[in-house]
Amino acid sequence: MIDIHCHILPGLDDGAETMNDSIAMAKLAVRNGIHQVVATPHHKTSKYDNSKATVVERVKELNLTLQKLQIPLEVLLGQEVRVYGDLIEDYMNDQIVTVNLHNYVLIEFPSNHVPSYTERLFYNMQMNGLTPIIAHPERNSQIVEQPDKLFHLIEKGALSQVTASSLTGDFGKKIQKFSFQLIEASLTHFIATDAHNLTTRPFNLAEAYDVIGKKYGIDYVDLFIENAELMTVGKMIYREDPKRMKRKKIFGIF
């Protein structure tokens, strides 16, 4: 399995603090059945600004360490880029890391809204050969309240990634229910752990796929697994036409 979103690089953000932490996380990932991870340190948040050069250096260092320790995990390049207006310009200036140096970029929204310029930015990204992947839309309060925000972005070519812990219920029943509805409406295309540590934010991809398999069948699991494989090599993923979600359907109280 491939995990396309994790914070395993040491000392860059709120994930692994030291190389020993990274090694411990790598061992946990392997035990979870993961053989590749995309390292996605935060970029352009109020606290963290990890340029492409920094990420390339740390990924190389971690891969060499894992090889010496014979830990069978490969770390691929990536970033979790907080959405901002100058993203295209910084991409042109070699500051943005696409996933494994192909055409996909993991994009993070603020937790409470979708910026008004997002649709225009995503259009410009696609015109420059980039495909935005929206990280954990199920944890964005405006998307939960107004799922059409996500629908329109997906309809116009963006993709999304739901967090494994959202599906296992670790973030609560409301987020779990909304995550299921994203799957049912073809509004998400990847499952990833967003792992930060060994305890509160671990690698739990196998557990999430187990939940999906029991609820929707093995074909859904295979779809998400294959999409991660296709995405990391820059190929077109499998996607169905998205469906609209109504707030009444989400909460069942209107």
**In total, how many domains does the chain have?**
1
Q: Which pLDDT score, from 0 to 100, does residue 253 have?
A: 38
CATH of residue 206's domain is 3.20.20.140
Q: Which pLDDT score, from 0 to 100, does residue 252 have?
A: 46
- Strands laid side by side in the 80-82 sheet: 42-43, 80-82, 104-108, 131-135, 159-163, 190-192
How many Å apart are CA 222 and CA 237, to the nearest integer?
12
- Which two tokens mark 107? 């994009």
pLDDT, the chain, mean? 96
**189 pLDDT tier (thresholds 50, 70, 90):** very high
How many Å apart are CA 143 and CA 61, to the nearest integer?
37
Q: How far is CA 200 from CA 15, 25, 190, 220, in A?
A: 11, 12, 21, 26
How many Å apart are CA 192 and CA 134, to the nearest integer?
12
- Which two tokens mark 41? 């340190």
**Tens of pLDDT along 73-99?**
999 999 999 999 999 999 999 999 999
**Tens of pLDDT along 102-135?**
999 999 999 999 999 999 999 999 999 999 999 9
DSSP 195: B
Domain assignment of residue 197, given as a range: 2-251
**203 pLDDT tier (thresholds 50, 70, 90):** very high
33: left (phi over 0), alpha (psi -120 to 50) or beta: left
Going 107 to 190 to 188 to 166, the CA torsion angle's sign is negative
Q: Report whether 158 contacts 236 (CB < 8 A).
A: no
* Arithmetic mean of pLDDT, 204-219: 98
Torsion of CA 245, 157, 192, 76, to 10 degrees: -170
